């Protein structure tokens, strides 16, 4: 089944946010609290929420948001995630 992962990148003071997304196929059924490994992260992170969309045959995963100190830090995080296959969700 298709899995769609979303991770919000925010700037603390301005509350400016970008959403990063990565999609893949798996036979594993994800659940909140399950550890999520990806080449992007040094350590596995916990899945915070799972939404099952059986009509579209996919699971939507929410991952913990990243709060950057500055807009520049936010842009660096976004660029690093893009190098690992994540894409910015157009808002």
Calpha distance 44→63 (Å, rounded): 11
| 8-state DSSP, 89 | P
pLDDT computed for residue 13 by the predictor:
76
Instruction: Answer for the pair 10, 16: CB distance below 8 angstroms, yes or no.
Output: yes
Transcribe 1-46 into DSSP letters: -EEEEEEEEEETTTTEEEEEEEEEE-SS---TT-EE--TT-SS-EE
Three-class DSSP category at 86: coil
pLDDT computed for residue 91 by the predictor:
62
pLDDT computed for residue 15 by the predictor:
75
Q: pLDDT tens-digit profile of 39-60?
A: 999 999 999 999 999 999 999 9
pTM across the whole model: 0.88
Query: What contacts 53, CB < 8 A, 6 or more positions away?
Result: 59, 60
Instruction: Map out the domains of the chain as residue ranges.
Output: 2-88
Q: pLDDT tens-digit profile of 60-91?
A: 999 999 999 888 999 999 999 999 999 999 76
Q: pLDDT tens-digit profile of 10-27?
A: 988 777 789 999 999 999
């Amino acid at each position: 089944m298709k899995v769609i992962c979303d991770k919000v990148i925010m700037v603390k003071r301005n509350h400016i946010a970008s959403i990063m997304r990565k999609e893949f196929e798996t036979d594993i059924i994800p659940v909140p609290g399950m550890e999520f490994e990806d080449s992007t992260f040094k350590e596995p992170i916990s899945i915070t929420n799972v939404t099952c969309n059986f009509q579209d045959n996919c699971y939507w995963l929410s991952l913990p948001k990243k709060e950057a100190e500055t807009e520049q830090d936010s842009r660096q995080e976004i660029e690093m995630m893009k190098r690992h296959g994540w894409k910015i969700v157009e808002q």
